[in-house]
Amino acid sequence: SIFGKSGLSHINIPILWVAGSEDQLTPVVIEQVYPFTWLPVTEKYFMLTKGAKHLDFNITEIQNVESVDDDSLNQLVSASSPVIKSYIDAFSLAFFQTYLENNSDYLDYLNSSYAVAISEEPYTLGFLSASTAEKLIPALAKD
């Protein structure tokens, strides 16, 4: 992780961490799962989408880029799958309603059961909270 364990130890706000299993820029275990377990907050959630990447690059457009401006960069990145976008929308809504609007009714959606309920092939969801992350720590420590 770019911030390291000591850097992440200073975070004291709720966190929704979104990751993709096919992320080659920030590999899921080394750069995302480990750092997630280092966060000291109890209001932390990790959403993992199987098959999702960090960014989907439009390889055919790379050869046409003449400058590095916003329009050129936007053409290089393909739009996310509508399914992946719906996952991000659903969990973002629940997270922000819970922690910004103090609407505890949405807390019921921040769990693995909800992730399983809305998952669609080929982009299925995995979901961790602080309590499930604690169970990972001994397994990760063996490496």
Q: Tell me: the pLDDT tens digits for 65-124?
A: 666 655 655 655 555 678 888 898 999 999 999 999 999 999 999 999 999 999 999 999
Quote the CA–CA distance of 136 and 128 in Å, as a whole number. Answer: 10
Backbone angles phi, psi at 3, to 5 degrees: -90, -20
Give Cα 31 distance to the centre of its chain.
11
Q: Residue 24's pLDDT is what?
A: 76
What are the residue boundaries of the structural domains of the chain, listed by start? 4-141
Rg (the chain; Cα; Å): 17
Q: Residue 135's pLDDT is what?
A: 76
CA dihedral of residues 89, 126, 124, 104 (deg, nearest 10)? -30
Quote the CA–CA distance of 89 and 94 in Å, as a whole number. Answer: 9
Highest mean pLDDT among 19-33, 47-61, 104-118, 129-143: 104-118
Quote the CA–CA distance of 16 and 89 in Å, as a whole number. Answer: 12
SS3 content of the chain, % helix, strand, coil (to 5): 50, 15, 35
Q: Residue 139's pLDDT is what?
A: 65
Ranges of beta strands (E only) in 21-99 are 44-49
Mean pLDDT across the chain, nearest whole number?
A: 83
Q: Which of 13-17, 18-22, 97-101 has the lowest mean pLDDT?
A: 18-22
Q: Report the pLDDT averaged over residues 12-24.
A: 89
Q: Residue 78's pLDDT is what?
A: 56
Tell me 28's DSSP state: I
* Bridge-based pairing state of the strands 44-49 and 15-20: parallel
